[in-house]
Structure 1
């Protein structure tokens, strides 16, 4: 959906080298053969299973785009999309790299504390690369059961942006953020963490937001309070920041109608795509100013997001 011109092509930015080029989307976005494996000498693949899930989701996305609304979704549609999102969450190169990095950090920590490899294996840690790859495949197959409900339980919003200020998409398009204080031992980024916001681009001008229900509740309460103030003390609204947008957001959560993003929202959305992408960021128009600015500020942004184990 992010194609450039008549053919299925995208402008591509490589985070590590800052080089750009134009290529067919299928040549860059797909991580080929990760889900191919062998049992003995016999080759197997689970790609047909994943392709079937994608094929089920594709017409649902099209109906959203054609209607420019989430109101067309049935409960079954939301279920199928939640399955798709769960698979997408673990399927990308960035997801695998982040998991591998966290495991390597933990293994290094345990070795520093005196654990031998035999002890680590006895404790359930898998050190064999092939077996770890099989585990990753199993994790992908189990993703709908493990993560699907988290997507389904959230409040969904359809975001829009003008063609002259489009969304970009990274090679790990499922981007998370949480603006609430990080006061727990495990951080505040996770599918089921209170306050989490999940974003997934659909086209250069439309994206899906999936917010923790508590976020939507805050907007609805704020909209109700604004309504009371409008009737009783309209002058006090001057102290609020963009009360009209608060009310539009609360309405969109209920109706499923599209919500136009502010320039600040668009910049934040695109920055999140940069942060989560492992290697590449894609654009329909080839505008990568924000991407260049971001990777220039921090070498950590030349790869995908990583967690720190301590």
Structure 2
């Protein structure tokens, strides 16, 4: 990253999800920029907009009341630039096999920064501070004591605190690098969504009170859609181990008791899934797999979901079933 990078910007409309990434979910409809179908979870309406306008907030990365008018926008632009060529390579080759170590590092940094930099991240900090304040008041604290106990609840102070933490998340890139990487591919008839909070986490391991959605916890699955057809996933190595064991068991049956082969459900998928980990080949997701990945985008989205087609039936179904999906996940204070 350039050491003498200018930390101010004239850009007012700032993307919380990079435009180069949103382009991969757009379609041509005249004009200079691609278009996106957009679904607003709060108003429950869909519409077409330019990628120039999608997932933007005015002066979002500019520090409040800073004497030198510093902004994170130039630094984030550098991180995007470094990762964009690696993402373009993955899309063109539909494979992870040729990524260099440097490109993997660039992608890992991009993922953890993208997870931290969204409007959802700011809203989560506000919700956490508010929840802590309410909890302390219920325990007998006085309102005038809260600034000393939990810090300022002023919008400008909370926003600056949020911005100060964004770049610190680069330290978490090692958690991405230590994961097993896999590339998912969907069919043209089932495009992937991307949202205004596109890095999603899922875990089938129940860890009770402690929660199970940390970057380093056992069983975690981290996803980032990079085009309408491709999703990058960084998963706990236990998933790869199970995939390789399943392929070994299949090979054992073939070598020692082929009569049992008829009892194996979808042997091709077993082989393809293991190869996706070992060779970097894209693993084709079923319609149900794609629906699940898209449901994570709905669940994590703060407000907006984007698609190359006007296909938001899943979003509507999820909101109808659970009204909390109108916003992103919120931290809770017990």
Question: Residue 26 of structure 2 aligns with which residue?
Answer: 3
Asked if the contact 1:171–1:277 (Cα under 8 Å) also holds between the matched residues in 2, the reply is: yes
Q: Which runs of 4+ in 1 moved over 6 A?
A: none
TM-score, with length taken from structure 2: 0.87
CA distance, structure 1, for counterparts of residue 262 and residue 59 of structure 2? 57
CA distance, structure 2, for counterparts of residue 59 and residue 40 of structure 1? 33
Question: Residue 293 of structure 2 aligns with which residue?
Answer: 269
Question: Residue 165 of structure 1 aligns with which residue?
Answer: 190
More deviation in 120-129 or 135-144? 120-129
Question: Residue 248 of structure 2 aligns with which residue?
Answer: 224
Q: What is the Cα deviation at residue 190 of structure 1?
A: 1.6
Question: Residue 307 of structure 2 aligns with which residue?
Answer: 283
Establish whether residue 105 from structure 1 lines up as the match of residue 124 from structure 2: no
Establish whether residue 43 from structure 1 lines up as the match of residue 69 from structure 2: yes
Question: Residue 17 of structure 2 aligns with which residue?
Answer: none
Establish whether residue 203 from structure 1 lines up as the match of residue 203 from structure 2: no
Q: 1:62 to 1:116 in 2, by over 3 A?
A: same
Question: Residue 301 of structure 1 aligns with which residue?
Answer: 325
Establish whether residue 59 from structure 1 lines up as the match of residue 85 from structure 2: yes
Question: Residue 127 of structure 1 aligns with which residue?
Answer: 153
Q: What is the Cα deviation at residue 125 of structure 1?
A: 3.3
List gaps (5 residues or longer) in structure 1: none
RMSD after superposition: 1.8
Asked if the contact 1:31–1:92 (Cα under 8 Å) also holds between the matched residues in 2, the reply is: no
Alignment counterpart, residue 155 of structure 1, candidates 180, 188, 194: 180
CA distance, structure 1, for counterparts of residue 286 and residue 274 of structure 2? 16
Question: Residue 79 of structure 1 aligns with which residue?
Answer: 105
Question: Residue 59 of structure 2 aligns with which residue?
Answer: 33
* Residue deviations 1:23-67 (CA, integer Å, cap 9, x gap): 012212123312112455542212101001101111111111111
Aligned residues: 308
Question: Residue 249 of structure 1 aligns with which residue?
Answer: 273
CA distance, structure 2, for counterparts of residue 38 and residue 307 of structure 1? 24
